[in-house]
Amino acid sequence: MIHYISADHLTVGRVEEILTRGYELALSDDARNRIQKCRDYLDRKAQNPERPIYGVTTGFGSLCNVSVGSDDLAQLQKNLVMSHACGTGERVPSEIVRLILLLKVQSLSYGYSGAQVATVERLLDFFNHGVLPVIYQQGSLGASGDLAPLAHMSLPLLGLGEVEYKGEVRPAADVLRELGWTPVELKSKEGLALLNGTQFMAAFGVWSLIRAKRLSEQADRVGAMSLDAFDGRIEPFADNVHLIRAHKGQLETARAFRRLLEGSELIAQPKKHVQDPYSFRCIPQVHGASKDTIAYVESVLTTEINAATDNPTVFPDEDVVVSAGNFHGQPIALAMDFLAIAVAELGNISERRTYKLISGARDLPNFLVKNPGLNSGFMIPQYAAASIVSQSKGLCMPASVDSIPSSQGQEDHVSMGSNAATKLWRVVLNTERVLAIELFNAAQALEFRRPLHSSPVIEEMHAAYRKCVPFIDNDEVMYPHIESSIQFLRAL
């Protein structure tokens, strides 16, 4: 299957489909023509040395007033890539590297960047053949785009740096030689076209958004099992309650819980208690607010992945080259900070439900084991969840409120969007773990309600879960069951 890179609107859903269903990428004829038209225009423009063009016939950043001779333009671009490859820290996961390649090609395909067709096609070769540049998570300020990580993405184009290929990290030069590919010779402006841009932070953002949407659904399903296992009330999920507040996510959540618990013997039985704790009673308000945030962030990131975000921007039809700031990550930095908070809150309330399940309330045994005291039971999984939730709270300090001037003050306000992106990624993974721990507890608690049963939907999920994780009679090593719970959620 082939996805043709074009000016057609790219959705987050389509990105997920490309990544998960094994699509190869190719340029549409229209995209190839746009790229070539812009390149031809820029080549003509560069022949006029009387009118300097930033990054094309000048240096970069605060060196924008230093002119570079025509004989050195190619070396200027190569130097840019080499000197800016200053990433450090953890490697970017391979699936996100693939996403960076896809988004970079999409951005270059609009014909406002001045890249060569050959350069763009080599990025497609990397994606299609699984040649994944080694990129590091730290080093970008989020303006002028993701300079350091995108430099690492670009090094292998020149036969430099490292790539992961067939599961091994190898020198890019060796892999290019093995595949019969010659290094790309960059032309004027191309280094900037590759390095300026928001594809590193946008890739982390899109990956996290895809996972956040799934986590939102899973939080409802796991929360519904917990509500029934805790002998909770369904009245707080009634439509009339939510119609008079009418936040979309709140309504969706309440209706989802009623569907999930339809036919439950437990939810239908008379209750001794008048109210449930907030972690159960306010699920529509909390899960719903996260749903609304996810929808907002999807709109922002969708705009971003359909944009040209490098600098300067080339407009061949208008005979204009504009040095501006589309590389600035602020629009998505703010959104990713917001999404991190929304996803963390799914974990925050989940841990509180776990705590209630092990608390010995409502005829459930202390720590969800038959013989507490001799057995610690589910005491420590809740500790683990609390620890993870605490870490996520720390990660939710907005990165976008910070700015540190760089390049001798020329780049005096930056977005820190790359830090927002990598923190968001960690929060998403953390929340998945917390929900998996809640599921571990909820499935255990549900069995103490027998012979009554939950709804057909919840019982089906419970039966599937029991094929992966057993009921715990007596203390045993628990961490493999937590990992199995995580894997179960990923497949849910």
Residues tagged active-site: 54
With beta carbons less than 8 A apart as the criterion, state whether 369 and 378 touch: yes
**Concatenated DSSP letters for 197-222?**
SSHHHHHHHHHHHHHHHHHHHHHHHH
Distance, in Å, from the CA atom of 161 to the CA atom of 87, rounded to the nearest integer, reads 12
Per-state percent for the chain, helix, strand, coil, to nearest 5? 60, 10, 35
Give how far Cα 182 sits from Cα of 65, 117, 177, Å: 34, 15, 7
User: CA 359, CA 348: separation in Å to the nearest integer?
Assistant: 17
Q: What three-state secondary structure class fits 476?
A: coil
Tokens of 14: 């389509």
Distance, C-alpha 42 to centroid of its chain:
35
Give the CB-side neighbour count of residue 76, counting CA atoms within 13 A.
22
Nearest to 160 by CA among 148, 172, 174: 172
In terms of C-beta density within 10 A (0-12 exposed, 13-18 middle, 19 or more buried), how is residue 159 classed? middle
| Residue 275 tokens, joined | 């109210």
Residue in this structure with the two tokens 């300090």, named with its chain if needed: 397
Q: Counting Cβ atoms within 10 Å, is residue 329 exposed (0-12), middle (13-18) or buried (19+)?
A: buried
- Helix (H) / strand (E) element for 171: namely strand 168-171
**Facing residues of 132 across strands?**
164
One-letter amino acid of 381: P
What is the distance, to the nearest Å, from the Cα of residue 482 to the centroid of all Cα atoms in its chain?
23
Q: How far apart are CA 34 and CA 30, in angstroms?
A: 6
| Cα–Cα distance, 64 to 52 (Å, whole number) | 9
Enumerate the β-bridge partners of residue 406.
411
CA distance 333 to 152: 21
**Whole-Å CA distances, 222 to 155, 219, 227, 231, 277:** 44, 5, 9, 14, 17
**Encoding tokens for residue 412?**
């005096």
Sheet with 168-171, side-by-side order of all strands: 132-133, 162-165, 168-171
Contact call for residues 64 and 410 (beta carbons, < 8 A): yes
Nearest to 136 by CA among 97, 94, 90: 90
Q: Hey, is 315 helix, strand or coil?
A: strand
